[in-house]
Amino acid sequence: MKLVLKISLIGALIFNLWSCSNEAKVEHEALQIVCTTNIVADLVQNIGKDSIDVISLMGAGVDPHLYKASEGDVNRITNADVVFFNGLHLEGKMAEIFERLPSMGKASYAVSDGIPEENYISSENFSGNYDPHIWFSVDNWIYAAEYVSKKLIENDPDSQAYYEENLRSYKNKLEKTRKSIKDQISLLPKDNRILVTAHDAFSYFGKDFDFQVVGLQGISTASEAGTRDVLDMANFIVEKKIPAIFVESSVPKQTILALQSAVQSKGEDVKLGGTLYSDALGNSGTPEGTYIGMFQANVSTIVNALKTNLEDESSDTD
């Protein structure tokens, strides 16, 4: 009896050890991926889903223009199977790390490489480089999704069908989102489509949806707005009768508040229309913590702020 019990215990132990080993193997087989921003991480996660484990170095409210990698970030990058970053100098303080990755034999990709160069917006105010805020064009993000799928397949060919199916599903969602956004923006007359923000992050949005976009700071938040910039912008707001200006989640709002005060000093009023997500998504687990939810939230904030003013003007006329 004791012998039977002993054999049973040994068998159970072997089964448990095999199970743990098998679980570890499954976990190990999932591609370990590091992404710089949570915007890029959301894109990669939508394509890879259960076949990958994704870490985002930057979370909600983090400014990638100024972000410096910590020692822990470098370790995460070193231990990853694949690294995805935005590119086009968005992560300006991490350029040296990206340059070293190929010599380390690390698979690393800038999602901007998947977007046709003719889709880029050039900027003299960003050291002659292209505007890196490529995700504010849904068409660009579809190209980026295709590129991510291609690179995941290269690194995990056994999951090709899975990645391709996820890509089809996500592209369909993006196309529906683009139509929904366009329908919502159509509620605003073109003359009222002037977007004033903390820094110049929305040019792709303006190009795709026919907005004039004006940022108080340049494309990079590393450049600061001076007194002359604030006064010039205040004059522009007064001249164009712009009803609302917008704060950004990843940029300190002091300059926008200074701009509001400058407008008020001229005897006019301009409202804070709300907070927009520019260089980072919202908190994880919220609708704004996804690319699609972020875009929809931004458009609702913009349209509601400018639409409210139109309704006020209509009431005054009545």
Q: What is the pLDDT of residues 47-66, one digit of tens each?
A: 999 999 999 999 999 999 99
Over 90: is that where the pLDDT of 18 sits?
A: no
pLDDT band at 220 (very low <50, low <70, confident <90, very high): low
Task: Tell me the mean pLDDT in the region 157-180.
Answer: 98
Kindly state the percentage of the chain with pLDDT values over 90.
75
* Structure letter (DSSP) for residue 192: G
Residue 287's alpha-carbon distances to 44, 128, 205, 294, in angstroms, are 17, 35, 20, 7
pLDDT band at 125 (very low <50, low <70, confident <90, very high): low
pLDDT band at 222 (very low <50, low <70, confident <90, very high): low
pLDDT band at 226 (very low <50, low <70, confident <90, very high): confident
Over 60: is that where the pLDDT of 26 sits?
A: no
Residue of 153, 154, 173 whose CA lies nearest to 162 = 153
Over 90: is that where the pLDDT of 7 sits?
A: no
Give the per-residue pLDDT at 315.
Answer: 45
3-state secondary structure of 36: coil
pLDDT band at 224 (very low <50, low <70, confident <90, very high): low
Over 90: is that where the pLDDT of 9 sits?
A: no
pLDDT band at 310 (very low <50, low <70, confident <90, very high): low
CB atoms within 10 A of CB 56: 23
Q: If you average pLDDT over every residue of the chain, what do you get?
A: 87
pLDDT band at 126 (very low <50, low <70, confident <90, very high): low
* Structure letter (DSSP) for residue 84: E
**Helical (H) or strand (E) element with 245:** strand 244-248
Over 50: is that where the pLDDT of 258 sits?
A: yes
HEC profile of 51-90: HEEEEECCCCCCCCCCCCCCHHHHHHHHHCCEEEECCCCC
Four-residue CA torsion sign, 47, 53, 56, 60: positive
Over 50: is that where the pLDDT of 38 sits?
A: yes
**Helical (H) or strand (E) element with 237:** helix 227-240
Q: What whole-number distance in Å separates Cα of residue 318 and Cα of residue 315?
A: 5
Question: Which strands, in side-by-side order, build the sheet including 82-85?
Answer: 52-56, 31-35, 82-85, 107-110
Instruction: Say which range, 25-29, 82-86, 177-181, 307-311, has the weakest mean pLDDT.
Output: 25-29
Contact 139, 153 (CB under 8 A): no
Give the per-residue pLDDT at 218.
Answer: 63
Give the per-residue pLDDT at 15.
Answer: 36
pLDDT band at 200 (very low <50, low <70, confident <90, very high): confident
The label of the residue with tokens 């679980």 reads 23
Task: Tell me the mean pLDDT in the region 106-131.
Answer: 90
Contact 86, 134 (CB under 8 A): yes
Give the per-residue pLDDT at 199.
Answer: 83
Task: Tell me the mean pLDDT in the region 244-271.
Answer: 94
Over 80: is that where the pLDDT of 77 sits?
A: yes
Which has more pLDDT, 84 or 228?
A: 84
Give the per-residue pLDDT at 12.
Answer: 37
Contact 279, 219 (CB under 8 A): no
Kindly state the percentage of the chain with pLDDT values over 70.
84
